Structure 1
């Protein structure tokens, strides 16, 4: 019996080591990082606890009870804290400061609620150099707040699909939105804190993701991934932008008003320049005409009075042109 029990224990350990942990969110290791855990329901929270998942055990990090409040375990007491925790809050986000390589691994946010029982979210912390960087998007969708948005993607490969996955990509973390096992026709319930609708049927060739009543927080980069029965994979990146129509209209009006103002300034400036040019031309034509008639009069009279008797003393009869030519007032000598 002892030998048989020993063999069973070995098989159990082997199975535990080989079993793959399924996680909801991947977070990039940072000196100050937050592990987001927001319970999406309005159930009554009776108790919650954060664990670090190791191969054969779970190491307790922190525990919260509405009656007894917060207890931080060693050696995490000086390195972790609850970011947004209140008596009525469903946000159990745990924040690390001075995190290091020893904090890489899997974490569990485990809640006891009433009346639905337990709820768990698993988070994987990976090294910063191993974090997957988002690639440029293949398409861009723009919508307004309050509307329903549907993202679709269709694989190019002709292989029989085995799995379809939707994720939201952020600079510091990747959230699993939905995962569908096509061979079993079964989808995984995401821990993402918003309502999401997607299709999951055998032999489907097109995947969609619907988010009802979108808000500005839904803007971002989304990834649709396919996995064939042969192991072949294919991914598509889609960017979603939620804009405020009122803000856009105000911006458009502001830009239009600015353009009209610039046009008016340009037209006024052009009119002033043209008016000045025309005035100068008229002045030049008047000057040349007066010079011509003065020359003709001098040729006819063949003399000029040295000092006209009726010339006003206050200069009221002087010409306004500053460039008017002057002539000598000395009388000609008769021979």
Structure 2
């Protein structure tokens, strides 16, 4: 009997070591980082505890009770604190300051609730060089607050699909929203802070999720990843923007400002053209006046001082002088 118990213990340890850890959120290690844990339901929180998950055991960091408060274990007493537990009872987000490489690993946010019982969210902290969010968007989606937004992606290749995963991408963390195992037609919805509706069925080639009653906090990048049974992957990224009154006003002001600037530019160009045209007309008018004035002066000078171009010869002048009748005056005689 003892041998059977020992064998079962060995098999359990082997299973733990070989089992792949499944996590809901990936966080990039930073000196000041936050591990988000928000219980999405309205159930009553009776107690919660944060663990750091190692290969063989769970190390307790913090335990919290709504009546008795929080106890922070050593050596985390001076490095971690709750961010919003006093403001929102179901928000057990844990913040670190002076974090280091020793804080890389898996963390568990374990809640006891009434009446639904235990609830757990697993977070993976990775070094900055292992955190990749290079995801240019394939499409932009615009919506108003309060609407139900559907995000859809269509598989292009003819691969035998194995899994479809939806994620929300942020600069400091990546949240798993839902995963669909196509071979079984079963889906897993992660411990995201808001409700996500998804479809999951065998043989599907189109995946979609629904975000009911969106708010401004839902804006961001959403990634859909198809994984084939042969190992190939296909990824689609959508950018969702939830507008509000301020955004609309900024957009209106931007458009109105652009229109005014364009109008002022047209008026400026028109004014310059008119000024240049008037200057040219005045210049032409001055030239015409000057030419007319020069012509009048020339005509006046010709009238006052005639110029004979054909002067008579000396013989002709002598002939005129000889034949020109002259009258002599006789002296009177007295009687």
* TM-score between the two structures when normalised by the length of structure 2: 0.83
Could you tell me how far apart the structure 1 residues matched to 2:192 and 2:129 are? Answer: 25
Task: Give the Å deviation of 1:8.
Answer: 1.5
Moved more, 175-184 or 239-248: 239-248
Residue equivalent to 2:270: 267
Task: Give the Å deviation of 1:90.
Answer: 2.7
Residue equivalent to 2:110: 110
1:234-253 equivalences under 5 Å are 234-243=234-243, 244-253=247-256
Count the aligned residue pairs. 303
- Aligned residue among 270, 274, 281 for 1:278: 281
Does structure 1 retain, via aligned residues, the 8 Å contact 2:32–2:95?
yes
Residue equivalent to 2:91: 91
SS of 1:171 mapped into structure 2: coil
1:1-335 equivalences under 5 Å are 1-243=1-243, 244-302=247-305
SS of 1:70 mapped into structure 2: strand
SS of 2:41 mapped into structure 1: coil
Moved more, 281-290 or 17-26: 281-290
Q: Provide structure 1 residue ranges, at least 5 long, that are not aligned to the other structure.
A: 304-335
Moved more, 83-92 or 268-277: 83-92
Could you tell me how far apart the structure 1 residues matched to 2:143 and 2:46 are? Answer: 39
Could you tell me how far apart the structure 2 residues matched to 1:268 and 1:217 are? Answer: 49
Could you tell me how far apart the structure 2 residues matched to 1:265 and 1:73 are? Answer: 71
Does structure 2 retain, via aligned residues, the 8 Å contact 1:137–1:237?
yes
* TM-score between the two structures when normalised by the length of structure 1: 0.83
Does structure 1 retain, via aligned residues, the 8 Å contact 2:52–2:105?
yes
Could you tell me how far apart the structure 1 residues matched to 2:4 and 2:25 are? Answer: 40
Task: Give the Å deviation of 1:87.
Answer: 4.9
SS of 2:137 mapped into structure 1: coil
Could you tell me how far apart the structure 1 residues matched to 2:123 and 2:237 are? Answer: 22
Task: Give the Å deviation of 1:118.
Answer: 2.0
What CA deviation, in whole Å up to 9, does each residue of 1:60-102 have, x standing for no partner?
1112222222221100111111222315443221111111111
Could you tell me how far apart the structure 2 residues matched to 1:280 and 1:143 are? Answer: 61
SS of 2:193 mapped into structure 1: coil
What CA deviation, in whole Å up to 9, does each residue of 1:8-37 have, x standing for no partner?
111111112122221100111112111111
CA RMSD of aligned residues (A): 2.1
Q: 1:175 to 1:155 in 2, by over 3 A?
A: same
Moved more, 26-35 or 187-196: 187-196
Does structure 2 retain, via aligned residues, the 8 Å contact 1:138–1:238?
yes
Moved more, 4-13 or 217-226: 217-226
Could you tell me how far apart the structure 2 residues matched to 1:161 and 1:22 are? Answer: 20
Could you tell me how far apart the structure 2 residues matched to 1:202 and 1:97 are? Answer: 45
Q: Provide structure 2 residue ranges, at least 5 long, that are not aligned to the other structure.
A: 307-335
Task: Give the Å deviation of 1:130.
Answer: 1.3
SS of 2:236 mapped into structure 1: strand
SS of 2:240 mapped into structure 1: strand
Q: 1:88 to 1:213 in 2, by over 3 A?
A: closer
Does structure 1 retain, via aligned residues, the 8 Å contact 2:45–2:89?
no
Q: 1:286 to 1:213 in 2, by over 3 A?
A: farther
